[in-house]
Structure formats: C-alpha cells, structure tokens
Amino acid sequence: MVMLPIINTFTNDTPLDIRVRTNMNYDAMLPIRSEVCGYSQLGAGPAGQSNKTAWAAATPYTLTYSVARYTNSAVISVTFSPAVLSAAL
C-alpha cells in the first residue's frame, strides 16, 4: 500500500509511505492507525519535500507501483507521471 497526502503543498519532509500488511486477521483493509491494522512501513520518502509544490488542480496523474523479485529479496518502487516529487521513492 502507498500512503500519500493529496494536498497542494507537502507539509512532510518524506510524504510517501510504502507499507506491507503484516496482520491478515484484521478485518479492515484501510489503516486508520497502522499499528492497529497490522501494516508495517517498508520505506518513506523521498526526503526534502517539505513545503514543495505537490499536486496541481485538474491535472491527471499516473501512479506506477512495481515489484522486482530476486532470489533473496524484492525491490519495490513507486513513481508518478507527470513527476510530482523531486526524487523517486
């Protein structure tokens, strides 16, 4: 899951949050509080986004969420088109 604020200006230095569901016994799919809903953070970022312009009104965005699986690991990445953030997470 990707958690991100839909606002005009980012108020957090690392606005995107990638999480994995760790408690399959919890009924709710959307977390209100991550520790209750059983989601753990995999990563947050990119750093340095506080007070930067975020989403523009009436502009369509595309979220690309990709996972590359390797023998002993996986790489998860999130990108937006057109670019919203100054760096990729």
Is 86 a domain residue? no
Q: What's the pTM?
A: 0.60
User: What was the pLDDT predicted at 49?
Assistant: 79
Q: How far is CA 51 from the centre of its chain?
A: 18
Is 89 a domain residue? no
Is 88 a domain residue? no
Is 65 a domain residue? yes
Classify residue 34 as exposed, middle or buried by CB count within 10 Å of its CB (0-12, 13-18, 19+): middle
Report how many domains make up the chain. Answer: 1
Is 57 a domain residue? yes
Is 24 a domain residue? yes
- Give residue 26's domain range: 2-81
Q: How confident is the model at residue 50 (pLDDT cuts 50, 70, 90)?
A: confident
Is 74 a domain residue? yes
Q: pLDDT over 90 for what percent of the chain?
A: 6
